Amino acid sequence: MKLSHVLASTSLFLSRTHAIGVGLPTTREAIIDTLLTFYRSLDLKSESLLRSTTTSDLVFDGTAFASIGVGAPEPLVGQDVIAPALIASLPMTTSHNLANLHVSFTSDGKANVTAYVLAYHYKKIAQPAESSRNVYLMSNWVEGVARREGGVWKLERVKLEPFFQSGNAEIMGLEGGEGDEAVA
Ligand SMILES: *[C@@H]1O[C@H](CO)[C@@H](O)[C@H](O)[C@H]1NC(C)=O
């Protein structure tokens, strides 16, 4: 099928859903969408998309990853530091899957958003291509704080904690990746 056909049917679908009156997202949906888009930007390797989902004073706390040899020992401060660093740290194909999304509103008008993140990292370093040595899976817990800026919910703080890892740590550029064994 030609791309133009796909595009035509996509825009038809979009205009139809508008026509049957799909409403605006709720506040909760908008906040969840911000977190999903943040992760989508990592999978698309799009620094501009990542910036659009975060505030300029963003704090990224990945210090809990020190125990498995990745991440910075101090929280990173500022979108200008964090956006390029996060994109650069994930040069391989990634698939971030979020589950158990939860939003709670804080008394200062901000929102906390939490989720589990299953992060698949794929890089073809072994044959055949489907060898499990080509994949490193991390299960993480994310806690975000979002605030409204210019009518849009943006993340001002992202804190990540590792839960479990399996697969080939070599894919993350880590020393000592040993086949399919879990990384302690
Ligand atoms: C929001 O998260 C902060 C930590 O970032 C925590 O101290 C606070 O209790 C949370 N508030 C709610 C309502 O979940």
- pLDDT given at position 5: 54
Give CA–CA dist 131/171, Å, rounded: 13
Atom 9 of ligand 1: nearest residue by CA position? 106
Cα 73 to ligand 1 centre (Å): 23
- Residue 90 in any domain: the answer is yes
CA 37 to chain centre: 7
- The predicted-structure confidence for 73-83, as pLDDT tens digits, reads as follows 899 999 999 99
- Residue 161 in any domain: the answer is yes
Task: Tell me the average pLDDT across 11-34.
Answer: 74
- Find the domain containing 87 and state its range: 26-172
Helix ranges restricted to H, the chain: 3-19, 27-44, 47-52, 79-88
Cα 39 to ligand 1 centre (Å): 21
Q: Is the CB of 11 under 6 A from ligand 1?
A: no
CATH code of the domain covering residue 58:
3.10.450.50
- The predicted-structure confidence for 109-123, as pLDDT tens digits, reads as follows 999 999 999 999 999
Tally of structural domains, the chain: 1
- Residue 32 in any domain: the answer is yes
Task: Tell me the average pLDDT across 20-47.
Answer: 92
With beta carbons less than 8 A apart as the criterion, state whether 127 and 100 touch.
Answer: no
Give CA–CA dist 46/68, Å, rounded: 26
